[in-house]
A = this chain, B = another copy of it.
């Protein structure tokens, strides 16, 4: 019997307890030992909940209990998660976490401490919910360098964009409906402004480069400025608008960004709808690979956490090493990254001629909206685009094209 503890009994923490309970026999067979939750750390009480007698408010009850070998961290945020996780690892307890803020900020240190203390620090659930992506990157895509990785990594924004697309509705309206349904949080900033996806692409890029990417270096733009009119054009072009988090090698530099993109039907990401996530990698020899599934939600994320718990249970006294080095991975200034742009602009006399003069070969787009016109540029660097766009008056929207 392996005793475990859960820190943070919110959506994912309670999902983990549920999966461990409902799949008890199956998990025991896979782990070769039964796994039982002995303690649940949370600030709150849970009267009437099956874990009510296991609740503690004191981390010492976990740290000082030699029976507890595996700790599940589902608190989110870095305070006090970082301190708690570090102390667990220093006490030789394996930690399995779904916390992308923690992994993005402190990944390599916690990975190193796990090695030094002969235990595991595992985080499959921190990106892509129930989609296996961390292990495939660390253990499978090892023979052919990944040149680009991009994905729809945030379920909330993908749900909002899917609804805007299907219903022709505006952002605010759909956000409110999503909040009412529990698909978006009361304070939706982390999701809609791309901060969540930014942490996740930082983790994936760190794994790909085997070096630490600071998430602060990643240019991040959310979806709150996307309008129903943008979707009218997107449809006319056979595209969808998706919040894409990506990093890629261009001219020998790694670039990384999170931003809304126009995605054409040809991309496997086009079909990733609602709360689903999809992650696309590209290598010289291996070509394109996609990993697709439920990127969020209590149950799928809990499955990934429990799979980590099973892996830790299978390797007592041993480190399952899924790690990158503490060395810093430089991310190039986004100014040099090249994209094609879709631009909507107020219809004023000579505006398209002016756009042509500025951007060269542009493709004019029609979508039947009055009082405005729209065009698509060729590939152009961010700096170049910004400088030229400043000279063009009346810009309503600018969205990058996924290529």
Q: Which residues of A contact B (CB under 8 A)?
A: 19, 22-23, 26-27, 30-31, 124, 130-132, 135-136, 139-145, 268, 271, 283-294, 299-300, 302-307, 309-311
Given contact pairs A23-B144, A30-B143, A289 touches B293 in the complex (Cβ within 8 A): yes
Tell me how far the C-beta of A267 lies from the nearest C-beta in chain B, rounded to whole angstroms: 10
Contact in complex: A294, B299 (CB < 8 Å): no
With A132-B141, A139-B311 already in contact, 12 other A-B pairs whose C-beta atoms are closer than 8 Å: A26-B144, A130-B285, A130-B289, A132-B140, A139-B307, A144-B306, A286-B294, A287-B300, A289-B294, A290-B291, A291-B292, A292-B292
Smallest CB gap from A31: residue in B: B142
Smallest CB gap from A281: residue in B: B293
Which residue of A23, A139, A144, A284 has the most chain B CB atoms within 10 A of its CB atom? A144
Copies of this protein in the complex: 2
Contact in complex: B19, A143 (CB < 8 Å): yes
Q: Complex formed: what's the CA distance from A132 to B311 in Å?
A: 18
Q: Complex formed: what's the CA distance from A22 to B289 in Å?
A: 20
Contact in complex: A292, B307 (CB < 8 Å): no
Q: Complex formed: what's the CA distance from A153 to B293 in Å?
A: 19
Q: Complex formed: what's the CA distance from A132 to B142 in Å?
A: 11
Chain B residues in 8 Å Cβ range of A26: 143-145
Q: Complex formed: what's the CA distance from A294 to B268 in Å?
A: 13
Contact in complex: A307, B130 (CB < 8 Å): no
Q: Complex formed: what's the CA distance from A285 to B16 in Å?
A: 11
9 contacts between A and B (CB under 8 A): A19-B143, A26-B143, A136-B136, A143-B309, A143-B310, A285-B300, A286-B294, A287-B293, A289-B291
Chain B residues in 8 Å Cβ range of A124: 140
Q: Complex formed: what's the CA distance from A303 to B139 in Å?
A: 12
Nearest 8 CB-CB pairings of A with B: A143-B306, A132-B140, A289-B293, A290-B292, A285-B299, A132-B136, A286-B303, A143-B307
Chain B residues in 8 Å Cβ range of A299: 285-287
Contact in complex: B130, A287 (CB < 8 Å): yes
Contact in complex: A300, B286 (CB < 8 Å): yes
Q: Complex formed: what's the CA distance from A300 to B131 in Å?
A: 21
Contact in complex: A142, B285 (CB < 8 Å): no
Given contact pairs A139-B135, A140-B135, A144-B19, A303 touches B290 in the complex (Cβ within 8 A): no
Q: Complex formed: what's the CA distance from A130 to B136 in Å?
A: 11
Which residue of A130, A140, A290, A292 has the most chain B CB atoms within 10 A of its CB atom? A140
Smallest CB gap from A320: residue in B: B139
Chain B residues in 8 Å Cβ range of A310: 142-143
Q: Complex formed: what's the CA distance from A289 to B304 in Å?
A: 12
Tell me how far the C-beta of A184 lies from the nearest C-beta in chain B, rounded to whole angstroms: 20
Chain B residues in 8 Å Cβ range of A289: 130-132, 291-294
